[in-house]
């Protein structure tokens, strides 16, 4: 097992006379709060135009910071998206391209990097592990009810963990048990409410030192189920296939309850006097799903409008997600930015805010966007890539500026201007064959860099 990164870097800092956990106020980096929704569509929030229900807390936060109108996830299913977020690396470079891949222990996460800077770290919500790897699994399986045969969040830099470790249970909105650290414990209540309660407690206990709070909520993933008091607020407002099963009203309740939980986090930060020195980022792991478990809600409510596609597709509806960043005095307030930002950028950007940068040996793919977010530099020109080659899919995509190349199984490369044609209806490849060829060449070169853990 690897020596935890944070212990190595902490020892180095102490040897030089530093004490990262007790940094002077002038040296203290910002607190960082990252809220990740699950299967939340682009237009499921008010700040992106939703009017059928309201998300006042998210909208208020978004107005206090910068809304990213072109924020892209790194993958179109849960495990690859989360691994890319945590490592700052593309799916083909971090060992997690499929939903059943487990994050390799040797990969360095945001939590490990910030922990080495003296941050208290916590994850309350969904940690999606895959199949245990031969190098990290006891042949006899888990011992004593622990989750240590899989790569556990507390193996990857998180001081505290409360939530789901596996995908099978992470769609349970009212779980009977959750992992508290390395032990499974009985619980009662709505999962995201429980995560919020634990987060509020964490904030109160760590108000005097920098912290990284990661809240991967499970709304609005898969099972359409929400607290009855929240559903009651929406009953009768939507056309329903079966009025006795108000699926659309319940989906709306998932979104509005998520908003209320984010509001509790924001109010706690304000009450503790921490808002001014907190970088707060909100986004979703990928677009909304139209699959069976969703029972048609996201489709009926047009959750990904105006985009084409959904979860498990590389159209804009699968990869472009709602996002904003709030950091008073740093990220401009009341701004809607078309700057292209990628999920892998969060790792180096958070680390830059904390006064550091990724070690070159980590081979992080994302870019430090802090100079761009704070208006000190223009966004660099680059090409972004995606792959989804699992569960019978064979999809590839590359984006440079406004032009995006999409290749699906058995199909020829198609080219779209996703700014002028966000629904990706008008293929420009016949008109600009050289552009399509160049993007395809870049995509094929990228695929050759795949790392096999």
Give the distance, in angstroms, between the CA of residue 111 and the centroid of all CA atoms in the same chain: 14
Residue in 93, 128, 206, 330 annotated catalytic: 128
DSSP for 325-389 reads EE-TTTSPTTEEE---EEGGGHHHHHHHHTT----GGG---S---HHHHTTSSPPPP-EEEEEE-
Q: Is 189 left (phi over 0), alpha (psi -120 to 50) or beta?
A: left
Residue 124: its H or E element: strand 120-129
Q: Can you read off the two tokens belonging to residue 309? A: 């596609």
CA nearest 113: which of 1, 3, 7? 7
Cis peptide before 136 (omega within 30 of 0): no
CA-to-CA separations, 400 to 128, 149, 219, 416, 433, in angstroms, rounded: 30, 41, 31, 11, 15
**Which residue has 């853990």 as its token pair?**
453
Cβ atoms 58, 318 nearer than 8 A: no
DSSP 254: H
- Tell me the torsion sign for CA atoms 260, 335, 308, 398: negative
Q: Can you read off the two tokens belonging to residue 425? A: 């209806």
**Which residue has 């939703």 as its token pair?**
50
Cα 133 to Cα 453: distance, rounded to the nearest angstrom: 10
Residue in 78, 206, 286, 330 annotated catalytic: 78
Q: Can you read off the two tokens belonging to residue 88? A: 């700052």
Cβ atoms 391, 372 nearer than 8 A: no
Cα 71 to Cα 320: distance, rounded to the nearest angstrom: 6
At residue 155, φ and ψ (nearest 5 deg) are -85, -10
78 is catalytic: yes
Sheet of strand 66-68, all strands in order from the earlier edge strand to the far edge: 183-186, 177-180, 160-166, 120-129, 211-216, 31-37, 278-284, 323-326, 66-68, 335-337
Active site residues: 78, 128
């Amino acid at each position: 097992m690897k020596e935890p990164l944070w212990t190595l870097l902490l020892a180095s800092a102490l040897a030089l006379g530093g004490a990262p956990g007790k940094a002077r106020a002038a040296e203290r980096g910002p607190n960082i709060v990252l809220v990740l929704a699950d299967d939340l569509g682009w237009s499921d929030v008010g700040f992106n135009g939703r009017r059928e229900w309201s998300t006042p807390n998210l909208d208020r936060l978004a107005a206090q910071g910068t809304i990213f109108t072109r924020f892209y996830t790194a993958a179109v299913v849960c495990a690859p998206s989360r691994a890319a977020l945590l490592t700052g690396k593309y799916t083909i470079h971090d060992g997690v391209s499929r939903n059943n891949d487990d994050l390799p222990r040797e990969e360095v996460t945001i939590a490990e990097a910030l922990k080495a800077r003296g941050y208290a770290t916590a994850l309350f919500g969904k940690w999606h592990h895959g199949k245990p790897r031969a190098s990290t699994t006891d042949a006899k399986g888990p011992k004593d009810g622990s989750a240590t045969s899989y790569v556990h969040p507390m193996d990857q830099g998180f001081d505290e963990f409360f939530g789901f470790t596996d995908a099978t249970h992470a769609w349970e909105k009212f779980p009977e048990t959750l992992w508290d650290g390395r032990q499974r414990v009985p619980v009662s209540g709505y999962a995201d409410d429980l995560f919020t309660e634990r987060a509020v407690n964490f904030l109160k206990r760590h108000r005097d030192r920098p912290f990284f709070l990661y809240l991967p909520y499970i709304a609005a993933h898969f099972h359409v189920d929400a607290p009855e008091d929240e559903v009651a607020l929406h009953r009768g407002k939507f056309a329903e296939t079966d009025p006795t099963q108000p699926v659309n009203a319940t989906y709306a309740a998932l979104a509005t309850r998520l908003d209320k939980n984010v509001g509790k986090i924001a109010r706690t930060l304000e009450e503790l006097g921490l808002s001014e020195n907190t970088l707060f980022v909100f986004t979703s792991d990928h677009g909304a799903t139209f699959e069976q478990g969703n029972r048609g809600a996201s489709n009926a409510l047009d959750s990904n409008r105006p985009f084409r596609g959904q979860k498990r597709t590389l159209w804009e509806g699968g990869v472009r997600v709602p996002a904003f960043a709030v950091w008073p005095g740093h990220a401009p307030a009341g701004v809607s930015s078309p700057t292209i930002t990628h999920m892998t950028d969060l790792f180096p950007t958070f680390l830059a805010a904390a006064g550091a940068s990724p070690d070159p040996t980590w081979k992080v793919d994302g870019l430090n966007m802090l100079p761009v977010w704070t208006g000190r530099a223009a966004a660099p020109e680059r090409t972004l890539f995606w792959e989804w080659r699992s569960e019978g899919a064979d999809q590839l995509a590359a984006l440079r500026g406004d032009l995006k190349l999409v290749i699906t199984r058995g199909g020829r490369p198609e080219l779209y201007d996703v700014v002028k044609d966000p629904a990706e209806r008008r293929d420009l490849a016949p008109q600009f064959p050289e552009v399509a060829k160049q993007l395809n060449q870049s995509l094929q070169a990228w695929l050759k860099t795949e790392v096999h853990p």
